[in-house]
């Protein structure tokens, strides 16, 4: 644990700088980030406090200290907290949030911190259990252990950072043959049962308190959805004017999966974790992109 991550004022300053970067960077439009070709993106799935994979992804994106500016790529990061690796029954994954927050503050136009269901649950203090562990409580236990009477201040800064996160990253790409081709990266999409109360305009406007409300809010629906089918995916493609999706949330045993007709699922947390490199100036369809998925541990 670095000294910086032990100091409450230092940690709060990191999160506050990241809030400003999330909300004020030029890539932020409405509730999402937007980028355009030319350029490259390293798209990822759930990370769940895997520090080795995080370091590797930062290296792949050319965002590590001393990296050549010409190698700099965009990077999505989401589902950062609530690790399986507890220490004395406590979850210290606030450190991963702090690392990502610092990276966002340093590279506000290249790092895209997409909000996910575990972050939202932590912010709302809504119960979430993973493998029998009460995730919110063990996360708070770690904050109290490290920061003592300052834990509440640190937790509030974490909540502000989570609330500032974009719902998605929209990529205005181009095809090699010409023409625009848009890809939307998000943690998840609403499930079919949520669509009746889901506001599809949520991407184009700032989020409100109502959007975060459990079971009724549109941001809540966006990060918790599962079981989407072809009809729903085709409907959202038409409504949002995108061509395909890069998502997480669902478990993919071998790191990636395809949901017909237009969604790729990525996992970046487990031993088969992957990432998807995307050349924004030469984008094809999702089936072709799925062939480009690479193991995070692969040497390149």
Closest CA to 22 of 92, 119, 91: 119
Summarised one tens digit per residue, pLDDT across range 145-172 is 999 999 999 999 999 999 999 999 999 9
- Say whether pLDDT at 266 is over 90: yes
Q: What is the pLDDT of residue 130?
A: 80
Report, as an integer, the average pLDDT of 295-300: 72
In whole angstroms, what is the distance from residue 275 CA to residue 267 CA?
8
Binned at pLDDT 50, 70 and 90, residue 179 comes out as confident
Q: Which of 299, 194, 173 is nearest to 242 (CA)?
A: 173
Q: Write down the pLDDT at residue 114.
A: 98
- Please give the Cα distance from 27 to 39 (Å, whole number): 14
Residue 7 vs residues 98, 150, 170: alpha-carbon distances, Å: 12, 10, 35
Q: Rounded mean pLDDT of 28-46?
A: 97
Query: CATH number of the domain at 3-28+46-164, please?
Result: 3.60.21.10
pLDDT in tens, 95-140: 999 999 999 999 999 999 999 999 999 999 987 888 788 999 999 9
In order of 9, 120, 165, 184, 213, the CA distances from 181 in angstroms are 44, 30, 24, 10, 33
Residues 72-80 have a mean pLDDT of 97
Q: Is the pLDDT of residue 277 over 80?
A: yes
* Rounded mean pLDDT, 57-82: 93
Q: List the single range of 82-86, 210-214, 255-259 with lowest mean pLDDT.
A: 82-86
Structural domain boundaries in the chain: 3-28+46-164, 168-295
Enumerate residues 6+ apart whose C-beta is below 8 A from 37: 172, 173, 174, 280, 281
pTM: 0.95
Average the pLDDT over each of 15-24, 56-65, 130-139, 227-236 and give the range with the smallest value: 130-139
pLDDT value, residue 300: 47
């Amino acid at each position: 644990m670095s000294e910086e991550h032990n100091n409450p004022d230092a940690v709060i300053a990191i999160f506050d700088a990241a809030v400003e970067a999330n909300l004020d960077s030029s890539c932020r439009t409405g509730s999402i980030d937007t980028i355009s070709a030319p350029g490259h993106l390293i798209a990822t799935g759930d990370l769940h406090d895997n520090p080795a994979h995080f370091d590797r992804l930062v290296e792949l994106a050319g965002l590590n200290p001393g990296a050549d500016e010409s190698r700099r790529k965009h990077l999505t990061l989401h589902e950062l907290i609530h690790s399986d690796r507890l220490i004395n029954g406590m979850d210290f994954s606030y450190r991963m949030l702090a690392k990502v927050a610092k990276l966002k503050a340093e590279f506000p136009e290249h790092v895209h911190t997409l909000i996910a269901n575990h972050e939202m649950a932590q912010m709302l203090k809504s119960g979430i259990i993973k493998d029998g562990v009460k995730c919110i409580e063990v996360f708070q236990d770690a904050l109290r252990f490290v920061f003592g009477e300052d834990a509440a201040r640190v937790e509030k800064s974490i909540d502000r950072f989570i609330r500032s996160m974009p719902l998605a990253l929209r990529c205005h790409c181009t095809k090699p043959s010409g023409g625009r081709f848009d890809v939307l990266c998000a943690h998840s999409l609403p499930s079919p049962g949520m669509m009746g109360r889901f506001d599809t305009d949520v991407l184009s406007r700032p989020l409100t308190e109502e959007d975060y409300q459990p079971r009724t809010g549109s941001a809540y629906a966006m990060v918790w959805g599962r079981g989407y089918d072809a009809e729903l995916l085709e409907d959202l493609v038409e409504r949002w004017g995108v061509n395909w999706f890069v998502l997480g949330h669902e478990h993919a045993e071998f790191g990636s999966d395809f949901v017909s007709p237009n969604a790729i699922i990525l996992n970046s947390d487990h031993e088969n974790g992957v990432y998807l490199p995307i050349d924004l100036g030469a984008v094809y369809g999702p089936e072709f992109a799925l062939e480009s998925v690479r193991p995070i541990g692969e040497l390149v």
